[in-house]
Amino acid sequence: MSKIAIISQPDQGVLIDVSGCTTMQEAIDHLSSTLQVSSQFWKGSNVALNLGKLELAPNQVAQVLAIAKGVGANPQTVWSDSAVTRTGLTQNNVQIGTGAPMSLPKVNLDSSAQHDFVQEEFPEEPPIERSSEEDITHFYETQDGESLKQEFSAPVEEPEDKAVKTAPLPTVLYLRQTLRSGQTVSHKGHLVIIGDVNPGAELMAEGDITVWGALRGIAHAGIGGNVQAEIRALKLQPIQIRIAHAIARSPDRPRVKFASEKFTGPETAKLVEGKIRISKRSID
């Protein structure tokens, strides 16, 4: 069970769940390490907290709130199963949540279909040739950090059936943080972690999962049945990865190195013919 979970849903906001902690000190340790490492992410954000069954006196409630406020987060609503804690929340003028708080998504997996990772390399691909009539967009970075866009060449022809529209992509959650054992991040959309995901940590997303670091924990992309979801990392060394309803575990033997030294780019796991395959593409 996770000690702390960050649960994000675009239509409901972000909830920090420490109900997996059994003592106040454990909750404070996990809350501090989670918030302070990525303080820029939390600055100015409204969040909800779930304290579960933790029994906290008014001064202890104030201490928990101070940790969140210390990084600029604003705990607007707090859930608690403890009457003692709810009294402390009331004395600290905090709104107490009603009903059930957000929770980690429930997943249905076919454990009988679990398999080892299948490793492959991408084949050579010819270079992409641009047509002179193709619309080209360039981005330039200015000294103050703002981007300027400059467009060239002929406009692209619009399709005749303008009623057909591409469905909008899910919201992307970027979190700059290294996750350690007991920490879980869940997002209803695409999830990007800037940092490592260590053994015992878990990522969950309805869309893709991208880790700009080493993925050594558990990652589940495509929750809800999205078989097109992918998992990417600079180093894919997970205990287990899941895409939609498929499960793949790390083989007992060490993974073989890619045959070609030029395949030095990030690794990608995707679902191919019912099995999760890991491939690596050159960054040349």
Residues 274, 145 share a domain: yes
Residue 281, pLDDT score: 66
For residue 101, tell me if it sits in a domain: no
Tell the residue number behind the tokens 């709810």, with chain if given: 86
How big, in percent rounded to 5, are the helix, strand and coil portions of the chain? Answer: 15, 35, 50
Both 121 and 43 in one domain: the answer is no
- Residue segments in the chain with a per-residue pLDDT below the cut of 50: 122-170, 256, 258-260
Asked if residue 103 is part of any domain, the answer here is no
Among 85, 83, 65, residue whose Cα is nearest residue 75 = 65
Tell me, what's the pLDDT at 133?
A: 37
| Position 102 in a domain | no
* Sign of the four-CA dihedral 23, 24, 25, 30: positive
Please report the pLDDT score of residue 136 as a whole number. Answer: 32
- pLDDT tens digits along 40-82: 788 888 899 999 999 999 999 999 999 999 988 999 999 999 9
What's residue 163's pLDDT? 42
Whether residue 54 is found in the same domain as residue 137 = no
For residues 30 and 222, what is the distance between their CA atoms, to the nearest angstrom? 27
Q: Whole domain around residue 241: which residue ranges?
A: 111-279
- The answer to whether residue 284 sits within a structural domain is no
DSSP labels, 57-126: -HHHHHHHHHHHHHTT-EEEEEE-S-HHHHHHHHHTT-EEP-SPPP-PPP----GGG-EE-EEEEPPP-P
Are 115 and 217 within one domain?
A: yes
**Residues 153 and 57 occupy one common structural domain:** no
If one counts the domains in the chain, the total is: 2
CATH of the domain at 204: 2.160.20.70
What are the backbone angles phi and psi of residue 100, rounded to the nearest 5°? -90, 135
Q: Residues 90, 131: one domain? A: no
| Domain match, 65 and 196 both | no
Q: Are residues 21 and 146 in the same domain?
A: no
pTM strictly above 0.85:
no
Task: Tell me, yes or no, whether 251 and 130 share the same domain.
Answer: yes
Residues 150 and 70 reside in one and the same domain: no
